[in-house]
Amino acid sequence: MRLTYFPFLVAVWILACGLYGMITSRDLIRQIICLIVVQSSTYVMLVGVGYVTGGIAPYFSDIAGPHATVDPVVQALALTDVVVEAAVTALLASFAIQAHKRFGSLDPQDLAEFKG
């Protein structure tokens, strides 16, 4: 059944949308947001890969007896990645601030012209 791949195809679609935005946008802030979109596709992919049919969240404080749970390893990966992504976004935003101060523009095309 083809539909069993649907969440993975959603991740591919989000990745493609983000890449398209990064290539076509004429604004550094928009490009940073598109990079966040690209990274979001990895979360969909990770959490999708770890899903187990009928599985519940891997927290055992109120689960009585054995029960199928979703894979906690990919959730741990996604959890730390979200925070690291936010810090990297802040670093990129500071580069955008610096570029705007130096060149008075946020258009990557203008920055390229200033380079020589």
Partner 1 sequence: MTPGQRKRAFLVGAAGLVILLIWAVTGLPGFGAYPGPYGPAITRHAVAQTNATGVVSAINFEYRGFDTVGEEFILVAAVAGMSVVLRRLRGEKEQPAAREELPGGGPATSEAVRVAALALAGPTAVAGWWLATHAQANPSGGFQGGVLLATAFVLVYLSGEVLAFRRISPASVTEAAEALGAGGFAAVGVTAVVLGLPYLDNFLPLGSPGSPGAVTSSGTIALISFLVGVAVAAAFVLVAGELLEQRLLSSGGTTPGKG
Under the rule (CB under 8 A), what is the footprint of partner 1? 1, 4-9, 11-12, 15-16, 19-20, 23-24, 26, 48-54, 57-61, 69-76, 79-84, 86-88, 90-91, 93-95, 97-98, 100-104, 109, 114
Q: For residue 32, which of 111, 90, 102, 98 has the smallest C-alpha distance?
A: 90
Say how far apart CA 29 and CA 24 lie, in whole Å.
13
Cβ closest to partner 1, residue 31 vs residue 50: 50
At its nearest, how many Å lie between partner 1 and the CB of residue 61? 4
At its nearest, how many Å lie between partner 1 and the CB of residue 86? 7
In whole angstroms, how far apart are CA 100 and each of 19, 28, 38, 92, 97? Answer: 23, 9, 24, 12, 5
At its nearest, how many Å lie between partner 1 and the CB of residue 91? 5
Say how far apart CA 61 and CA 26 lie, in whole Å.
50
Cβ closest to partner 1, residue 11 vs residue 35: 11
For residue 79, how far is the Cα from the chain centroid?
A: 12
Cβ closest to partner 1, residue 30 vs residue 100: 100
